[in-house]
């Protein structure tokens, strides 16, 4: 019988835990729904200006068409994206003068989302999170 030292046992357990977490993340990153959209609306106040962006990522299996982005429920501040292919990410800059409170995103495939802008924490290297919405 093979004798394993305590440190080797701990190392093997840690390797198995890391491998399990890695495999879990690989499995959940595989698209499983036809239409799914990830949205991150960020406003980052600086000392002289506000840096803002909206990140859209198609996390579904099929392309999303006719995506409308309406800022602060005001049709004056509206953008259109014709098509967003699976896995594609785009970064939009809101129009000048937009109050940056919330956005409404919809598409021809039935995606219909209201989301508030968020302000990220001030830490070096922190990107934020990407909320993902599905259409069943």
Token pair for 1: 């019988």
Torsion of CA 90, 43, 28, 33, to 10 degrees: -60
Predicted pLDDT of residue 54: 93
Predicted pLDDT of residue 124: 59
User: pLDDT tens digits for 10-49?
Assistant: 899 999 999 999 888 877 767 677 898 999 999 988 778 8
Token pair for 33: 């729904």
Report yes or no: 39 and 59 within 8 Å, Cβ to Cβ. no
Token pair for 104: 């409404």
User: pLDDT tens digits for 65-109?
Assistant: 999 999 998 889 999 999 999 989 999 999 888 889 999 999 999
* Segment 111-116 mean pLDDT: 92
pTM (two decimals): 0.69
- b/e per residue 28-39 (b: at least 16 CB within 10 A): eeeeeeebbbbb
Q: Which residues contact 40 (CB under 8 A, 6 or more apart)?
A: 54, 55, 118, 128, 129, 130, 131
Predicted pLDDT of residue 127: 55
**Residue 136: which pLDDT band, with cuts at 50, 70 and 90?**
very low
Predicted pLDDT of residue 14: 93
Q: What is the DSSP string of 46-101?
A: -SSSEEEEEEEEE-SSS-EEEEEEEETT-TTSEEEEEEE-TT-EEEEPPPTT---S
At the topology level of CATH, where does 35-135 sit?
A: Immunoglobulin-like (2.60.40)
């Amino acid at each position: 019988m093979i004798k394993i030292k305590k440190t080797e046992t701990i190392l093997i357990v840690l390797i198995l835990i890391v491998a399990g977490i890695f495999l879990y993340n690989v499995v959940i990153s595989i698209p499983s729904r036809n239409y799914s959209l990830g949205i991150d609306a960020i406003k980052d106040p600086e000392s002289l200006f506000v840096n803002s962006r909206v990140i859209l990522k198609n996390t579904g299996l099929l392309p999303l068409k006719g995506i409308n982005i309406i800022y602060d429920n005001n049709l004056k501040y509206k953008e259109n994206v014709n098509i967003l292919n699976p896995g594609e990410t785009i970064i939009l800059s809101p129009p000048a003068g937009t109050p940056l409170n919330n956005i409404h995103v919809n598409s021809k495939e039935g995606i219909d989302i209201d989301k508030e802008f968020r302000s990220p924490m001030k830490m070096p290297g922190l990107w934020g999170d990407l909320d993902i919405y599905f259409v069943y």
